[in-house]
Amino acid sequence: MCGRTACSLSKECLSFACMYQDPYGLYQPPEWCDDVGGTCEPSYNIAPTSYCPVLVDHSKLEDGMPPKRVLAPMRWGLLPSWYQGGLADFKLNTFNCRVEGCQRRNCYQPAIASGRRCVVLAEGYFEWKKPSSGEKKEPYFVYFKQPAGISMVTRDWDCDGKENLLQGGCWRGPKLLTMAGIFDKNAGVYSFSILTMRAPEYMAWLHDRVPVVLEEEAVNAWLDPVHDTMQLIQSVHFPSTLDWHQVGSQVGNTRNKGMDCVLPVKKTESKQKRSVLDAWLLKVTTEKAGPSTSTSTRSQSPLNAEPKDEPALQVKEEPGPQGAVVQVKEEPGVQEAASEEKQEGSAQGKEAPVQQPATEMKVEAKELVNAESVMQLKEEGGAQQQKKRRLD
């Protein structure tokens, strides 16, 4: 199906983009017929009930006019000529017309029988990919493959001075998407419906329906008043020269009309969602782990800083007649740190806490002295007993 299009070109640019070869072999731009009512405004997001530019044969637009290709604004959503109510009261969905069985529908019979055919113009149309279970629809922008130097992705040509795209009497801008349509007239209002067909294999991944897209030769035949509508419908072939890219979700809101509707989607949205999830998981993991159990009194080192070694405790043995004497010697850094801590404790009051590292060193030194003394006494006792035995 086709429920949204984009066409940002001005009326003058559209005229040059639709240049055709007349019966005399000369290329000329079609003229605009602005007296049919309604105005089509350039927009990157055109929805049904809006006015869109269409190509039509002048003889089918107004009775008694000679065959000639012209441009006209028409309302999207066909209002049949037999309808007697107001435009706002017409509730049928007629912005798309299926080619299968279209002749049997009362809404389209008058337009088909009278040969009122038109070609709907756009830079491309939007289609939403059918989602898998639990996924959101993804919008895509579909268009003709463009000539060299023209890109629908970067849109370098899309600027305020689009009139500069006409060089040497030739159109140097994008190739417009041309879709088959039928139109009718009711109380002075011209309205149209875009024909749709079953999607070819290479487009079925996106949707099972596509608009009837016409190449240049098919456009000429579709606008020629001598041909029968149903015979043309039976002979249509979907071209293989289409291209597409994914766009952002903002195109789903018809109030968004800017160029961002047709630009390729940015993947930052999904990355941000993953980052939020990762942050949540990290928070949960941290809460489960609980607070740190470390009892170290050392402050954290700066980032990338080398960890400093703890001051070494030196134990020196000195022989003595009554036993081993153990001297405990601390490095200057420890003494300075202990002195500073003592000063800080004095400044804060008598209840200042005693620093744990110094206490631990004193206890260890005392235990070491006691152990050495016991060993020395045992050795001396054993030596005296051996001496006594010899004397005996």
The reply to whether 261 and 322 lie within a common domain is no
How many domains does the chain contain in total?
2
Residue 364 vs residue 230, higher pLDDT? 230
Main-chain dihedrals φ then ψ at residue 180, nearest 5 degrees:
-75, 135
In a domain, 30, yes or no: yes
Q: What is the pLDDT of residue 292?
A: 44
The answer to whether residue 372 scores a pLDDT higher than 80 is: no
Given a cut of 80, whether residue 208 has pLDDT beyond it is yes
pLDDT value of residue 264: 96
Q: Distance (Å, rounded) from C-alpha 385 to C-alpha 41?
A: 121
Do residue 317 and residue 168 come from a single domain? Answer: no
The pTM of the full predicted model, rounded to 2 decimals, is: 0.69
Residue 144's alpha-carbon distances to 122, 147, 179, 213, in angstroms, are: 10, 9, 11, 9
pLDDT reading at 255 higher than 80: yes
**Given this model, what pLDDT does residue 337 score?**
40
What rounded mean pLDDT belongs to the chain?
78
Note whether residue 333 is domain-resident. Answer: yes
Is 201 part of any domain?
yes
**Residues 59 and 141 occupy one common structural domain:** yes
Answer whether residue 238 shows pLDDT above 60: yes
- Is the confidence at residue 71, as pLDDT, over 50? yes
DSSP 264: B
Using one digit for the tens of pLDDT, what is the confidence trace for 301-333? 333 334 344 344 343 444 444 444 334 344 444
Tokens matching residue 157: 């040509």
Q: Considering the domain boundaries, does residue 283 fall inside one?
A: no
Nearest to 249 by CA among 258, 259, 261, 231: 261
Please check whether residues 263 and 318 belong to one and the same domain: no
Same domain, 209 and 73: yes
Separation CA 383–CA 380 (nearest Å): 5
Judged by average pLDDT, the poorest of 72-86, 131-145, 252-266, 323-337 is 323-337
- Between 181 and 22, residue with greater pLDDT: 181
The whole-angstrom separation of Cα 105 and Cα 255 is 32
Task: Note the pLDDT of residue 368.
Answer: 47
Token pair of 65, please? 């006019």
233, 268, 303 - which closes a domain: 268
Residues 219 and 341 in one domain: no
Whether 357 has a pLDDT exceeding 50, the answer reads no
Q: Are residues 206 and 317 in the same domain?
A: no
pLDDT tens column, 6-61? 999 999 999 999 999 888 888 899 999 987 778 999 999 999 999 999 999 999 99
Counting residues of the chain whose pLDDT is more than 70, the rounded percentage is: 68
Q: What is the average pLDDT across 352-368?
A: 46
Task: Give residue 332's domain range.
Answer: 313-391
Reading phi first (left if > 0) and then psi (alpha if -120 to 50, else beta), residue 315 is in: beta
Among 268, 299, 324, where does a domain finish? 268
pLDDT band at 229 (very low <50, low <70, confident <90, very high): very high
pLDDT of residue 225: 94
Are 14 and 124 in the same domain?
yes
Q: Is residue 289 part of a domain?
A: no
Residues 219 and 343 in one domain: no
Instruction: Report CA-CA distances (Å) from 35 to 29, 62, 64, 73, 353.
Output: 18, 11, 16, 9, 96
Question: CATH number for the domain including 130?
Answer: 3.90.1680.10
Picking from 113, 107, 121, 115, the residue whose alpha carbon sits closest to that of residue 186 is 107
Instruction: Identify which has the larger pLDDT, 172 or 219.
Output: 219
Q: Does residue 150 lie within any of the structural domains?
A: yes
Structure-model confidence comparison of residues 93 and 368, the more confident one? 93
Residue with tokens 């050495």: 372
Residue 15 lies in a domain: yes
pLDDT tens for residues 275-302? Answer: 566 666 666 665 655 554 443 333 343 3
Q: Is the pLDDT of residue 350 over 50?
A: no
98 and 153 both lie in a single domain: yes
Q: Is the pLDDT of residue 252 over 70?
A: yes
Q: Given a cut of 80, is residue 162 above it in pLDDT?
A: no
Q: Kindly state whether residues 335 and 238 are assigned to the same domain.
A: no
3-state secondary structure of 23: coil
Q: How far apart are CA 389 and CA 106, in angstroms?
A: 137
Q: What pLDDT is stored for residue 83 in this prediction?
A: 95
Given a cut of 50, is residue 342 above it in pLDDT? no
pLDDT of residue 288: 56
Do residues 317 and 262 both lie within one domain? Answer: no
Does residue 54 form part of some domain? yes
> Which one of 268, 303, 330 terminates a domain?
268
Q: Could you list the active site residues?
A: 2, 127
Q: Indicate whether 141 pLDDT > 90.
A: yes
